[in-house]
Amino acid sequence: MPLDSTRTYRVAIIGAGPGGICAAVRLRQAGIEDFVVLEQAEGIGGTWSRNRYPGLACDVASHFYSFSFAPKPDWSRPFAGQAEILAYLEEVVAAFGIRPHVHLGTSVEAAHWDSETAHWRLTTGHGSTVTAETVVAGPGMFGELRYPDIEGMDRFSGASFHTGSWPAEHSLSGERVAIVGSAASAVQLLPEAANVARRVHLFQRSANRVLPKEDTPFTGEQLAHFRQSPASVAELRPPTTSSSSSTSSTSTSGRGAAPPTTASPSGRIVTQWPHSTAPVPRADRLRPTARRLRDPCALPRLTPRSTTTNSSRPGSEQLHHRE
Ligand SMILES: Cc1cc2nc3c(=O)[nH]c(=O)nc-3n(C[C@H](O)[C@H](O)[C@H](O)COP(=O)(O)OP(=O)(O)OC[C@H]3O[C@@H](n4cnc5c(N)ncnc54)[C@H](O)[C@@H]3O)c2cc1C
């Protein structure tokens, strides 16, 4: 259905990434049908549609990186790749009847609150106006690509691109490749590039620690079990924030006394890893309480500089918040 500039929608959602899709499903489940999803790209999926670089996968276990209302028993592996995640999001959009609400290729350029009518007026890239009682903003955080400011870059005559705008037709096969950066995307791209390129150089400003990823594809037997038993899939989802302290326990003996583990690989790392590396007196005070701490890639950034038990070590609050 085309956008109607003459009427007032109850809700306008900006973005059809996981956040926008989730909001749309929840609106429908609440019986609200009068809404639009405005998406600037030509496809749904946000991050998982825009990014296509080799090696891109989720670093959060897939049974956890799924909507609670749409569990997927047949994830092929513990940490699914980009294509599988995008296919999942497309399935959710189809299954929950969201597609008719989505307007692709429609960027929101401005949002003005009209206090007289108590409505939002959104201006789209096409110059049209969308009026809505409520706006849900789901534009994500990583859409704007950042390029390093390297002198002479404009004179580089080879192919050069960002992981966030990977050209579909480009293969690194046989090439001499330079990767700038050492964080999550580079960590995923590096082994893929090394597999096919003639030579790979990685330029890093600061060292990054990488945790092991237990990512053996699920066996046919495991997949059959997940399909037959929804409870077994639910068990792979660690409790979310409010009850997450149940994934750890208060240890009185410090290092070595790891709390009970969750069933998922990332859950196991989250609960065991801090206890095996933290200074002994602090280990019993470490409690994973947020998604950030469930992300194995985030854990190294929370590592205390000192693992000794001297007085200069940071306290547990500092440990929790250090980025
Ligand atoms: C390379 C990469 C890897 C990642 N890996 C992980 C991971 O392993 N685990 C994890 O938990 N998170 C990961 N993330 C974070 C990821 O972005 C989030 O998990 C999730 O995709 C956020 O969903 P979102 O809907 O909020 O935002 P997005 O997925 O970014 O979607 C936002 C959507 O809004 C649209 N939009 C933006 N502005 C406008 C506008 N003005 N008008 C209309 N539409 C607009 C965009 O086109 C996009 O489709 C990763 C991010 C990146 C970039």
Instruction: Indicate if the alpha-carbon torsion angle 8, 11, 15, 17 is positive or negative.
Output: negative
In ligand 1, the atom with minimum distance to the C-alpha of 59 is 8
Compute how many other C-beta atoms are within 10 angstroms of the C-beta atom of residue 23.
21
Residue nearest to atom 5 of ligand 1 (CA): 58
CA of 141 to the centre of ligand 1 (A): 6
Compute how many other C-beta atoms are within 10 angstroms of the C-beta atom of residue 42.
8
**Splitting the chain (323 residues) into consecutive groups of 10 residues, what average pLDDT does each group show?**
92 98 98 98 97 93 95 96 98 98 98 97 97 97 90 92 93 96 90 95 81 88 95 83 35 35 54 60 49 53 43 28 30
Supply φ then ψ for residue 164, to 5 degrees.
Answer: -75, -5
Which residue carries 């205390």 as its tokens?
A: 304
Distance, CA of 287 to CA of 101 (rounded, Å): 41
Residue count of the chain: 323
pLDDT score, position 199: 96
Cβ contact 321:302 at 8 Å: no
Axis crossing angle, helix 18-29 with helix 82-95, rounded to the nearest 10: 20
For residue 182, give both structure tokens. 């050492």
Q: Where are the domains of the chain?
A: 8-137, 153-203, 211-313
Strands ordered across the beta sheet of 119-124: 102-103, 35-38, 8-14, 129-137, 119-124, 108-114
164 to 19, 56, 144, 157, 295: CA distances (angstroms): 19, 10, 9, 20, 21
The CATH class of 8-137 is alpha beta
pLDDT score, position 208: 72
pLDDT score, position 274: 57
Residue nearest to atom 49 of ligand 1 (CA): 46
Distance, CA of 206 to CA of 113 (rounded, Å): 44
pLDDT score, position 304: 42
pLDDT score, position 278: 58
Cβ contact 320:302 at 8 Å: yes
Distance, CA of 14 to CA of 125 (rounded, Å): 13
**Residues contacting 295, CB < 8 A, separation 6+:** 59, 60, 266
In ligand 1, the atom with minimum distance to the C-alpha of 106 is 43
For residue 66, give both structure tokens. 């799924």
Residue of 215, 233, 217 lying closest to 225 (CA atoms): 233
For residue 224, give both structure tokens. 């059959």
Give residues (CB < 6 A) around ligand 1: 14-20, 38-41, 46-47, 51, 56, 58-60, 65, 107-108, 138-140, 142-143, 185
Query: Rounded to 5 degrees, what angle do the CA atoms 217, 300, 242 make?
Result: 80
Compute how many other C-beta atoms are within 10 angstroms of the C-beta atom of residue 235.
13
In ligand 1, the atom with minimum distance to the C-alpha of 143 is 30
CA torsion 237→242→247→250, rounded to 10°? Answer: 180
Q: Give, rounded to a whole angstrom, the gap between the first and last alpha carbons of the chain.
A: 45
pLDDT score, position 1: 77
Compute how many other C-beta atoms are within 10 angstroms of the C-beta atom of residue 63.
24
